[in-house]
A = this chain, B = another copy of it.
Amino acid sequence: MQPQAVLEAVLYTDDLPAAERFYTEVLGLDVHQPANRRQVFLRCGPTMVLLFDPTVTANEASSVGGATIPTHGARGPGHLALRVAADSRQRWRDHFSARGVAIESEVEWPAGGWSIYLRDPAGNSIELATAELWGID
């Protein structure tokens, strides 16, 4: 028994509207469900990036059709990596520069590939990386 892929990656923030702006305007993700007091749901290709306010999700169980959606909610800077094309490095640099977003670090991986790191408004570490880094086609 094996899952097929990551379907949802999750980060936490106390400011969901700021997260929605950052993930759409700076990172280019598509809004699946706009920010409310609990969450904002974003789509990235065949995967989802979900941001939650941990004050809400850790303390208020929600339910669907009588079934409980389990609580969760972490504090402190999390991490997420998004897959980008190998030839897009300079375009991403220019894109961030034009929006006044600082690049925290850039890494060239020994096995090949590269990563650009920045911070979201909540301080989460966001990485744009080529799949080559993991030997993934």
A residues sitting closer than 8 Å to B (CB atoms) are: 1-10, 12, 27-29, 32, 43-50, 52, 54, 58, 64-65, 67-85, 88, 91-92, 95, 104-110, 117, 119, 124-125, 127-129, 131, 134, 136-137
- Judge whether B44 and A3 touch: CB under 8 Å: yes
13 A-B contacts, Cβ less than 8 Å apart?
A1-B92, A1-B95, A3-B83, A4-B84, A6-B9, A6-B49, A8-B79, A10-B78, A43-B136, A70-B104, A71-B125, A72-B76, A73-B76
A102 to chain B, nearest CB (A): 12
Stoichiometry, as copies per complex, reads: 2
Beta-carbon contact of B82 and A3 below 8 Å: yes
